[in-house]
Amino acid sequence: MVSRYRRRRPRWFRQEVLALYFAVRDKRTPLRIKILVFLALLYLVDPIDLIPDMIPVFGYLDDLLIVPLLLHLAFRWLPAPVREDCLFKAYHQAKRLRWIGWLLGLLLIGMLVAAFLLGRHMGQYFH
């Protein structure tokens, strides 16, 4: 049986990343935390990795392990008042982002349906 914590873990990680976004912009955040977040993001986009991405599975495995680990450590090392304030902001921002995501999804579905119908309609003229 999967524990409740394991099922909620991806959602918590998303909130941690969003909270880190607010923490990096906060003046109370120590410089070492900002540098750690910057290094994690730099490692994600940098073409030079510990294990090259050309190796089929292991190439992306280091990105999937190192970057979340660095971001989680940065979140854990935040001072408690900054962490709580940023989690509060992240929670309320996540609600807005969820609604925006649903609206963008509906818009995408509508555009795909319109493109399909237009393609069928234009196909009648070319046959």
Give per-residue pLDDT as tens, 68-90: 999 999 999 999 999 999 999 99
| Nearest partner of 90 among 25, 8, 14, judged by Cα | 14
Determine the Cα angle at 25 with ends 22 and 28, to 5°: 95
CA atoms within 13 A on the CB side of 77: 16
Are 71 and 20 spatial neighbours (Cβ–Cβ below 8 Å)?
A: yes
Domain ranges of the chain: 4-125
Q: What is the mean pLDDT of residues 91-116?
A: 88
pTM of the model: 0.64
- Which of the four pLDDT bands, split at 50, 70 and 90, describes residue 46? confident
